[in-house]
């Protein structure tokens, strides 16, 4: 359900952008979402349809690219990628190369609007 507030915010941002460009409508919105955000595409689409009604974004296509969860080991700089399920089921993640538990999250929590295509 956390997709609700986020989608309302995204529609706000893209609508402002489209207005500033004097666009007639928004055709396509591309998002990059980190796997840690746990965004369900079905809810993203549901809230998008709901909140975009009557805005410049109504009828636009929405594409969502999921970024994997990635850690960098502080000890050996090795980078490890992990799926969301593996991450949840691994309470004490360690480096697969040297076994160190000093891992730094470097990808997986982002939420970005990558691109907006408008009709002028
Ligand atoms: Zn390591």
Q: What is the pLDDT along the chain (120 residues), one digit of tens a residue?
A: 688 889 999 999 999 999 999 999 999 999 999 999 889 899 999 999 999 999 999 999 999 999 999 999 999 999 988 888 888 887 677 888 999 989 899 999 999 999 999 999
For residues 7 and 25, membership in a common domain is answered with yes
Q: Tell me the residue length of the chain.
A: 120
For residues 90 and 45, membership in a common domain is answered with no
Ligand 1: centre distance to CA 71 (Å): 10
For residues 57 and 90, membership in a common domain is answered with no
For residues 114 and 96, membership in a common domain is answered with no
Residue 104: the pLDDT is: 92
Ligand 1: centre distance to CA 9 (Å): 38
Q: What is the count of structural domains for the chain?
A: 2
∠ CA 81-31-40 to the nearest 5 degrees? 70
- Specify whether the CB–CB gap between 37 and 64 falls below 8 A: no
For residues 20 and 77, membership in a common domain is answered with no
User: Cα–Cα distance between 31 and 62 in angstroms, integer?
Assistant: 8
Query: Which domain does 84 fall in, by range?
Result: 70-105
Ligand 1: centre distance to CA 78 (Å): 5
CATH number reported for the structural domain that contains residue 19 in this entry = 3.30.2320.50
For residues 60 and 77, membership in a common domain is answered with no
For residues 46 and 29, membership in a common domain is answered with yes
Q: What are residue 64's DSSP bridge partners?
A: 31
pTM of this structure: 0.82
For residues 77 and 93, membership in a common domain is answered with yes
For residues 58 and 113, membership in a common domain is answered with yes
Ligand 1: centre distance to CA 96 (Å): 7
- Specify whether the CB–CB gap between 37 and 69 falls below 8 A: no
The DSSP output letter for 71 is: E
């Amino acid at each position: 359900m956390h997709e609700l507030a986020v989608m309302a915010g995204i529609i706000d941002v893209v609508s402002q952008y489209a207005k500033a460009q004097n666009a007639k409508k928004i055709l396509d919105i591309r998002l990059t979402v980190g796997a840690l955000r746990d965004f369900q595409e079905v809810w993203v689409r549901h809230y998008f349809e709901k909140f975009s009604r009557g805005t410049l974004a109504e009828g636009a296509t929405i594409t969502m690219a999921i970024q994997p969860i990635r850690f960098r080991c502080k000890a050996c700089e090795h980078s490890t990628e992990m799926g969301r399920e593996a991450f949840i089921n691994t309470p004490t993640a360690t480096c697969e190369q040297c076994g160190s538990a000093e891992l730094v999250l470097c990808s997986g929590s982002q939420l970005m609007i990558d691109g907006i295509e408008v009709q002028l």
